[in-house]
């Protein structure tokens, strides 16, 4: 069977379409973050602030770097946040833009893989635009407007970058080493990083499948061992999940049908963004079930029709699908009660979007085969659906972005007036895990460390000693 992926440089038209699609996604994302992002720490941001103050006073230590935050070891996000806070003098908009930039790098890698396929100009444009608008969808507003959500973008970047690097590595052992490095690093970003090693296994299999057996099988075995080892360490010793989630896992097994319903509902949420936002889950559940079926069909069909040569796009597609559905499954297992009683939180849709993008990439590869007109029709239909549902929800999330900006500007004002005894109750109401005294101490620590921004500094004093507490 003739392979459909370009082995040489893609035509100039393909790169032009990919660049235009990327610019569209970048414009949508930069507009949203620039218009509605506010320079103020929110909720769990104060945990990173505590760590950064400690690092400023005592230096970076392994204990503080690897400390648990719930079930996560946020070593990489802590380093990224600390560096950004120091370099930007405490401007949280810089972290928001950094998060957007991380997502746009991932998008560029995906669009580059699509551009290598010999699709028609209309198929290429539809697939590229669909990926671009979905990947940067405003339905992820919670992640776009909250600086703490850096790991939600670092993990997809690691997945797509490692999958592409594995596909184009020079040898089987180089590919296995790349996979192993990604699998070890991923749990240091967020606990669902345990799925990264498994997500990269198909990419490694694609890379080594035509290597001599003496090289292929040992490389695959090494990759599988590394994925198993990092998963075991994370679950049993590295995350606190072994004991804390035992009762949750038992409850999940007892209510497996509810868990399955929640899984397909969360998966389908990006395809019914307005309904999910308003707590209506019927259409999301239907969309999730259809997407799960369509993705399974595409994965099986593409694997059975594998080419003789390598394919970077299929490796990225499989990696995104496994990472996305595995991460959504982990969310469902850990937060079944929360998901059953509340609307699906915006942040989880980033994981579901990884799945949907992977599905679309599979259909793009199948359509590029050109032996069956049906795959081309399905690619155009799926792309049209993704574009329609995402674009139609833009007005809703623009209004919500305005509301969020107003609320967070109110947080700024409360912090600036934090020394006013009359504002203590307001400070307590937005501080979540910490009392007003603790927040004031951390604001003073930020001032000492040199990254207290005037936008949220009490009495506007970013420099010099803060006024005494009442």
pLDDT tens, per residue, the chain with 470 residues: 334 454 445 588 899 999 999 999 999 999 999 999 999 998 889 999 999 999 999 999 999 999 888 888 899 999 999 999 999 999 999 999 999 999 999 999 999 999 988 899 999 999 999 999 999 999 999 999 999 999 999 999 999 999 999 988 888 899 999 999 999 999 999 999 999 999 999 999 988 887 888 888 899 999 999 999 999 988 886 555 544 444 445 455 556 777 788 889 999 999 999 888 887 778 999 999 999 999 999 999 988 766 655 466 899 999 999 999 999 988 887 765 555 555 578 889 999 999 999 999 999 999 987 667 899 999 999 999 999 999 999 999 999 999 999 999 999 999 988 888 877 888 888 876 788 888 888 999 999 988 999 999 887 555 555 545 44
Structural domain total, the chain: 1
* 3-class DSSP state of 68: strand
Token pair listed for 235: 């679950």
Q: Is residue 92 within 8 Å of 39, Cβ to Cβ?
A: yes
Is the residue at 465 inside a domain? Answer: no
Rounded to two decimals, what is the model's pTM? 0.91
Output the DSSP codes for 400-457. HHHHHHHHHHHHHHHHHTTTSGGGHHHHHHHHTTS-HHHHHHHHHHHHHHT---TTTS
Q: Is residue 196 within 8 Å of 170, Cβ to Cβ?
A: no
Is the residue at 292 inside a domain? Answer: yes
Is the residue at 458 inside a domain? Answer: no
Q: Which residues form the domain of 205? A: 12-39+91-400
Identify the pLDDT of residue 464. Answer: 52
Q: How far is CA 276 from the centre of its chain?
A: 18
Identify the pLDDT of residue 257. Answer: 73
Identify the pLDDT of residue 215. Answer: 83
Is the residue at 413 inside a domain? Answer: no
Token pair listed for 412: 């700024």
Gyration radius (Cα) of the chain, Å:
23
Is the residue at 68 inside a domain? Answer: no
Q: How far is CA 314 from the centre of its chain?
A: 19
**Nearest residue to 152 (alpha-carbon basis) of 120, 189, 125:** 189
Distance CA 313, CA 311 (A): 6
Q: What does the angle CA 243 – CA 244 – CA 248 come to, to the nearest 5 degrees? A: 105
Greatest Cα pair distance in the chain: 78
Instruction: Tell me how crowded residue 70 is: count the other CB atoms within 10 A of its CB.
Output: 13
Q: Please list, in sequence order, all residues whose beta carbon lies within 8 angstroms of the beta carbon of residue 101, skipping any fewer than 6 positions away.
A: none
Identify the pLDDT of residue 8. Answer: 45
Is the residue at 75 inside a domain? Answer: no
* 3-class DSSP state of 69: strand
Is the residue at 419 inside a domain? Answer: no
Q: In angstroms, how far is the first alpha carbon of the chain from the final one?
A: 78
Is the residue at 77 inside a domain? Answer: no
Identify the pLDDT of residue 470. Answer: 44
Burial class (CB in 10 A: 0-12, 13-18, 19+), 114: buried
């Amino acid at each position: 069977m003739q392979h459909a992926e370009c082995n040489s440089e893609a035509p100039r038209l393909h790169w032009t379409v990919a660049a235009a699609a990327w610019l569209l996604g970048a414009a949508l994302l930069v507009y949203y973050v620039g218009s509605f992002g506010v320079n103020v720490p929110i909720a769990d941001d104060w945990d990173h602030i505590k760590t950064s103050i400690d690092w400023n006073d005592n230096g970076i230590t392994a204990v503080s770097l690897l400390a648990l935050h719930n079930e996560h070891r946020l070593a990489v996000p802590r380093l990224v946040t600390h560096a950004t806070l120091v370099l930007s003098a405490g401007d949280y908009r810089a972290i928001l833009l950094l998060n957007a930039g991380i997502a746009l790098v991932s998008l560029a890698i995906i669009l580059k893989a699509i551009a290598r396929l010999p699709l028609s100009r209309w198929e290429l444009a539809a697939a590229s635009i669909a990926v671009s608008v979905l990947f940067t969808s405003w339905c992820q507003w919670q992640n776009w407007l909250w600086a703490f959500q850096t790991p939600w973008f670092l993990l997809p970047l690691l997945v797509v970058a490692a999958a592409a690097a594995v596909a184009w590595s020079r040898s089987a052992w180089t590919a296995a080493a790349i996979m192993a490095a990604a699998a070890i690093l991923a749990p240091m970003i967020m606990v669902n990083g345990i799925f990264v090693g498994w997500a990269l296994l198909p990419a490694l299999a694609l890379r080594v499948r035509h290597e001599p057996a003496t090289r292929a099988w040992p490389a695959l075995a090494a990759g599988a061992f590394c994925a198993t080892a990092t998963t075991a360490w994370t679950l049993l010793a590295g995350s606190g999940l072994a004991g804390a989630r035992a009762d949750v896992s038992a409850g999940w097994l007892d209510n497996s049908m509810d868990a399955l319903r929640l899984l397909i509902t969360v998966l389908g949420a990006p395809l019914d963004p307005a309904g999910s936002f308003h707590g209506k889950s019927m259409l999301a559940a239907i969309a999730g079930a259809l997407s799960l079926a369509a993705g399974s069909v595409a994965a099986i069909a593409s694997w059975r029709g594998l080419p003789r040569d390598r394919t970077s796009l299929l490796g990225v597609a499989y990696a995104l699908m496994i990472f996305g559905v595995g991460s959504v499954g982990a969310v469902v297992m850990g937060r079944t009660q929360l998901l059953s009683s509340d609307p699906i939180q915006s942040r989880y849709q980033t994981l579901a979007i990884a799945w949907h993008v992977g599905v679309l990439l599979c259909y793009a590869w199948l359509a590029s085969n050109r032996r069956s007109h049906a795959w081309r029709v399905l690619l155009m239909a799926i792309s049209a659906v993704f574009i329609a549902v995402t674009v139609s929800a833009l007005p809703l999330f623009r209004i919500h972005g305005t509301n969020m900006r107003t609320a967070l500007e109110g947080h700024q004002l409360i912090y600036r007036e934090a020394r006013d005894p009359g504002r203590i109750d307001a400070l307590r109401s937005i501080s979540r895990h910490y009392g007003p005294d603790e927040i004031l101490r951390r604001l003073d620590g930020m001032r000492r460390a040199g990254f207290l921004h005037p936008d949220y500094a009490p009495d506007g004093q970013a420099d010099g000693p803060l006024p005494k507490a009442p």
